[in-house]
Structure 1
């Protein structure tokens, strides 16, 4: 049954879609909550800066570091856009001073591979976002001068020039795993949907900022194989694709996929590219609409014990659905909401809110109040075939109440559930999403704060989260703390708009980049 509150919300969206509510939702900031999140950011940064900088990631318990992203200071580059959003002048200055010193020609271990995907979404995007945000800050803000701004963009160009060797394949579909000294590819023969389709925003932005078309052309040629998939088996339903692509010819080699890891951010970027530039990327919008419609029609699934909840199944062709998902896929609610706002389609917003609500339930069901890395459910309509088993005996009671059972109990400081609540709040102005985020922050702060920062935990459904892994990933700075802050913060140019006047679009690592056509 649809609640009266939801009907009012849907009517609000419909009014906006037909121009009857031009001003959009009303928002109310919570400065005390935003300040608490900023304190957590400063605490995590202080630990990183003392014990790990300029390496990649902090090990907060042992007070040491790990170079998991080639030793170029991943946490620093991932943190800078959040520091700018928070107006954290000290941290901004520290990172801006560091950026010109990075040697993007040489990873910390010369034998390590460089991921084209991870390096693009973290380093390249972090630099581009910092340049966009600082270029648009009031003159003289944070003491950053034009020479320092130029150095940020120069480093982005230098990094991209090293990475572009990945596209040197017969088809133009890139190889993801690279080697430097000198830049060269590995012998990989396939690449994945997400790792091909999550480059185009950053590389196009670099071309738009520099006037050098090469970067956009490389990424858009690779994307063209995804927008026009071959063979037909690579597109089981309209817009929904397989996962692996042959780099020699651009053909899909399987029919498995969904909104989970490995495929996820390809779909995310389709609508974000249209938001970035509606004139150039209408075809991307069309592909997103096809994927969204097919997902609602074929993948939407309701747990047998909780028909009020909705998750998206994975698939292996048309014949086999898998009722398994996880924290990483919980960005999907936010992406549907963004698509609905962008296209004036309240039905997409509604579906996104249903997904965001269901991922919220994965948080409320656990001992820690934090959602697990992986979960599964039994579809309420499908037959009890091999692909739709009942909950394991030891979790049967948990499943009865929760509507899912846990397949991976870790929490690795992921942002995706909070990300979807952020979009839900920006679409509706409903303060419950702020409350959900605040509760999640309190639970994460209570459970994961340890030593010099924050650590992943092993079991969200055990007291105190089980045990710590002693690792704080860079996306803790880029995504989790940014979304937690933005949902409570005052209005600002980087906030997502519900009324077609977005000035920024967020990449998959939550780095905001200026929408094309707005002042640099």
Structure 2
């Protein structure tokens, strides 16, 4: 087995020997930021409650069921909540949780899995969590005083790196397809494909950051090369007439055998979302190698602004992004899609395009309304609306009125609820975070705090926090008795970061930041910035 501590030096020397990587456009200045210690402490307390409940009743399994005080191995039994919580515990300076997680990571057996394995979920949660933990602990400037000794514990850090590679080696079988597009469903003992015939752009296009970072850490190019090969079919979609209804906006599903798109339906929603997210983030990661990714992101955003930006008939002040089927807009969206505001704001900062920042702020304000309009103060899983006639004629077959039982709600809120559950999703608070880091406007901190308070009030249950069934019912209606691992990785981290001190891992409006966040909110070191630190 390779020794990671030897690779650290080799990778640093290799990175420093390369031609200087051009940075994204530097903006002239960045806002002043405000810290709220009381809010920071409250979020830390929520993390501790969640962690204590998980550690007592579910560890080392994947997820806590906080009401029944039992567990679920919904992510293959490797301790998903522990690995997902690592980067959050590090930035919070929670030395106790960090020690418990690092001890656990050394003992995970990635050769044995409970159930089928999702390449996508395993990459963003486990691989992303391990690589992020490694990058953060290798950055002394990112560590609280209690955690700084870990920087010198190379045996412990090697274990993180080795486990990331052990996992990746088993997952590599996913790419053994005629086209190189991965099969998203795997089985272990031994590692093998499930035999899927199709895959979606999100599950193909949300691998490249983590796998490329693993290659750059280890010096082994095959990891990044595999993910980038699958991505290549999304960057040059075929057949183009079907696959790309608008420039940069593509369908959802591809044939794994030949790489051809099977439909022209999509949007910034689940199944598509993080493909678009990673295009600009890969440019941030390495703006020379991935300049073409940036160009595709720009096309997608420009097309979204021109063809998908929709204003509800009852609330034309709101802006949502529609889905599309071919060139026909579909006026439905999801909590998941509310990440779009933050991603477009981030791209606007990186490219110094104020029109993108402004558009992202419009989307963030509209997603804020999906929270403030409900009984619980939390946004629904899925919602719909009637366009004001800008994109489609009112009352046409694809632009009908609200259901009768939600007509009054639509008149006031500008949307109606299709699925009212809330499963501890982060995307709205995520976009508030980017809005705040872009502008310094403290109203976004207040919005995030209000959202946190609503979630804390409604979802606290038993030994942790639970998904709820109805955001329009007092108390959330009923509990689902499930605490997702991304509660640790995303909701609690974004809620913390937006209220906390400035730090090396924070997003910087002037593009001086050193990290880029994967879709699970795990910060990884941007390749262009590695030379600043003695890896």
Query: Do these two structures clear the TM 0.5 threshold for a shared fold by scoring above it?
Result: yes
Match of 1:188 among 189, 196, 201: 196
1:340 aligns with 2:351: no
Q: Distance in 1 between matches of 2:176 and 2:397?
A: 43
Q: Distance in 1 between matches of 2:274 and 2:493?
A: 19
- Give 1:98 deviation, angstroms: 0.6
1:125 counterpart residue number: 128
1:106 aligns with 2:112: yes
- Unpaired runs of 5+ in structure 2? 1-23
Provide Cα deviations, 1:318-363, integer angstroms capped at 9, x if missing partner: 1x22100010000000000000000000000001000000000000
Q: Distance in 1 between matches of 2:250 and 2:211?
A: 23
Match of 1:497 among 483, 499, 508: 508
Task: Map residues 339-358 of structure 1 onto 2, 5 A cutoff.
Answer: 339-358=347-366
- Give 1:286 deviation, angstroms: 0.2
1:478 aligns with 2:489: yes
- Give 1:22 deviation, angstroms: 2.4
Match of 2:84 among 70, 78, 86: 78
Off by >6 Å, runs of 4+ in structure 1? none
SS in 1 for 2:213: helix
2:276 counterpart residue number: 267
- Give 1:389 deviation, angstroms: 1.1
Task: Map residues 62-77 of structure 1 onto 2, 5 A cutoff.
Answer: 62-77=68-83
SS in 1 for 2:417: strand
- Give 1:18 deviation, angstroms: 9.8
Q: Distance in 2 between matches of 1:409 and 1:141?
A: 42
1:313 counterpart residue number: 322
- Unpaired runs of 5+ in structure 1? 1-16
SS in 2 for 1:181: coil
Task: Map residues 443-458 of structure 1 onto 2, 5 A cutoff.
Answer: 443-458=454-469
SS in 1 for 2:31: coil
Q: Distance in 2 between matches of 1:98 and 1:426?
A: 34
Preserved CA contact (<8 Å) 2:174 2:193 = yes
1:404 aligns with 2:418: no
1:12 counterpart residue number: none
Preserved CA contact (<8 Å) 2:25 2:351 = no
1:290 counterpart residue number: 299
Match of 1:434 among 432, 442, 445: 445
Q: Distance in 2 between matches of 1:282 and 1:352?
A: 22
Match of 2:219 among 188, 211, 214: 211
SS in 2 for 1:253: coil
- Give 1:249 deviation, angstroms: 1.1
Task: Map residues 194-205 of structure 1 onto 2, 5 A cutoff.
Answer: 194-205=202-213
- Give 1:190 deviation, angstroms: 0.6
Provide Cα deviations, 1:293-341, integer angstroms capped at 9, x if missing partner: 00000000000000010001111111x2210001000000000000000
SS in 2 for 1:101: coil
1:156 aligns with 2:164: yes
- Give 1:502 deviation, angstroms: 1.5
Match of 2:94 among 83, 88, 94: 88
1:467 counterpart residue number: 478
SS in 2 for 1:124: helix
- Give 1:113 deviation, angstroms: 1.1
Q: Distance in 2 between matches of 1:390 and 1:44?
A: 42
Provide Cα deviations, 1:90-122, integer angstroms capped at 9, x if missing partner: 0000000110100101013xxx21000000000
Instruction: State which drifts further: 132-141 or 225-234.
Output: 132-141
- Give 1:23 deviation, angstroms: 2.5
SS in 1 for 2:340: helix
TM-score computed with the length of structure 2 as normaliser: 0.92
Match of 1:227 among 215, 226, 235: 235
TM-score computed with the length of structure 1 as normaliser: 0.95
Task: Map residues 376-415 of structure 1 onto 2, 5 A cutoff.
Answer: 376-381=384-389, 382-383=392-393, 384-415=395-426
